[in-house]
Amino acid sequence: MAKILIAEDELDIRNLITFTLRFAGHEIVATSNGAEALEKAIEMADQKDCPDLILMDVRMPRMTGYEACKRMKEDTRLVNIPIAFLSAKGQESEIQEGFAVGAVDYIIKPFATDQLTRKVQELIEQAGA
Amino acid sequence: MSAIILQEEIVHYEVLGRGRPIIFLHGWVGSWRYWIPSMQAASMSYRTYALDMWGFGDTAKNTSRYLLSQQLRLLKSFIDEMGIGRVAIVGHGLGAIVALMFAQENPTYVDRVIAVGVPLKMDQINPRMLQSTPQELADWLLGSTPDSEAARKEAPKADQNAIYHSLQHLASAGIAELPQQLSLPCLFVHGQNDPAIAMTDTAILATFPTSFHFIALENTGHFPMLDMPSKFNRLMTDFMALPSGESPRNLELKDEWKRRIR
């Protein structure tokens, strides 16, 4: 079981991702934008309870996923946490930008729930969580 | 885990999505958990609930509550306490019988029913259902997909008495007459290779009212929602999308379909 921090602004999608990963055996902390995710990640790190993986949508209000990722990678408490983006199909050009700010992978939306579960498992295994 | 106290005992349920309500009721083997793929598929348009009935999963185990009448009471209490309006019910095996009986007793509560793997006569039930432990039933009936494995792990939580008593009660429950007593849209789905519950005889199916429709799913067993989730979920969402009161007679199996997160 891994601890996964999620940032997704659309409630229905956030709930579905949370539900899917929770019943795949993971502990989920859900936030609705990049700023909240950054705050939550810092709070968890300060409590020595870092997430094993962060999944973030790219386009979110208050702070984009890119900006949140960039700030996390500048923070010594968070720099080693693997981050993967969730990005809409047709916006593949954003992938390179995501890697440039420190993401380890991309999950292209729309995706099926079983694909999400498999991908997350792969990322966790890669990270050695 | 979400739980509610009903009739002074704990009842476990899960909920996902927004929209018109659908309640999923599990069968004799397993718990709410094998409805996860169906809940995921429906959750973008519907508020989906799945609960563990008395004696199953993480709901209270109390032998005095294992008769079908008690499971019906549980469902009514759940709907009332949760403030759920007119609901669609998807039931499997025991859950399908509970759904049909509940719809007959409470017609204003239920908009439509999907009954999966439902026996209308006792001779449709393989005697192993009465003799085996929950784990033996799970090993016999569940496949090897990841979702089946999750269901298999839940199976031992069931109290064997809950399975036994509900099956015993079926003989006197008069379920064979239920289709004639119901006027709501009802879709019967059966796994063509179901070794636990034999398919209802075609002569009996021919007597069903026009509000009923029967579909056999090829290459599936007792758990068609796990053996062919895409096909099952497509059928389910097509049925749920029908206008209220419309017969499902024109429903047919379509190409496989998978709910994707946008």
**pLDDT for A68:** 95
Alpha-carbon gap, residue B201 to B164, rounded angstroms: 24
In DSSP notation, chain A reads --EEEEE-S-HHHHHHHHHHHHTTT-EEEEESSHHHHHHHHHHHHHTT---SEEEEESS-SSS-HHHHHHHHHHSTTTTTS-EEEEEETT-TTHHHHHHHTT--EEEEESEEHHHHHHHHHHHHHHHT-
**pLDDT for A19:** 94
**Terminal Cα-to-Cα distance of chain B (whole angstroms):** 26
A16–chain B nearest CA distance, Å: 7
Question: Out of A12, A114, A117, whose CB is closest to B44?
Answer: A12
Radius of gyration of the CA atoms of chain B, in A: 17
Sheet containing strand A53-57, edge to edge, reads: A27-31, A3-7, A53-57, A83-88, A105-109
Give the rounded percent of residues in chain A with a pLDDT score beyond 90: 75
- CATH number, domain of B246, equals 3.40.50.1820
DSSP β-bridge partners for residue B88? B22, B112
Interface contact B33, partner A, CB < 8 A: yes
Question: What single DSSP character describes residue B126?
Answer: -
CATH H-level, domain A3-123: superfamily: Response regulator (3.40.50.2300)
Confidence of residue A90 (pLDDT cuts 50, 70, 90): low
pTM of this structure: 0.89
Q: Which of residues 59-118 of B touch A (CB under 8 A)?
A: none
pLDDT digits (tens, 9 = 90+) for B191-244: 999 999 999 999 999 999 999 999 999 999 999 999 999 999 999 999 999 999
**pLDDT for A92:** 66
Contact B17 A15 (CB under 8 A): yes
B231–chain A nearest CA distance, Å: 14
Q: Give this complex's ipTM.
A: 0.78
pLDDT digits (tens, 9 = 90+) for A50-82: 999 999 999 899 999 999 999 999 999 999 999
Interface contact A13, partner B, CB < 8 A: yes
Alpha-carbon gap, residue A14 to B131, rounded angstroms: 43
- Cβ contacts of A111 on chain B, cutoff 8 Å: 260-261
Please report the sign of the dihedral spanned by the C-alpha atoms of residue A24, residue A90, residue A12, residue B145. Answer: negative
**pLDDT for B86:** 96
Contact A12 B43 (CB under 8 A): yes
**Sequence-separated (6 or more) residues with CB below 8 Å from residue A93:** none
Q: Domain tally for chain B?
A: 1
**pLDDT for B255:** 63
Find, in chain B, the residue whose alpha carbon is nearest to that of A12.
B17
Interface contact B254, partner A, CB < 8 A: no
In the predicted structure, residue A28 carries a pLDDT above the cut 60: yes
Beta carbons of B162 and B232 less than 8 angstroms apart: no
**What number of C-beta contacts closer than 8 Å exist between A and B?**
48
A79–chain B nearest CA distance, Å: 28
B243–chain A nearest CA distance, Å: 24
Beta carbons of A78 and A42 less than 8 angstroms apart: yes
In the predicted structure, residue A129 carries a pLDDT above the cut 60: no
Interface contact B16, partner A, CB < 8 A: yes
Give the domain extent around B224.
2-258
Under-70 pLDDT residues of chain B: 255-262
- Cβ contacts of B261 on chain A, cutoff 8 Å: 13, 16-17, 109-113, 116
Confidence of residue A89 (pLDDT cuts 50, 70, 90): low
A74–chain B nearest CA distance, Å: 30
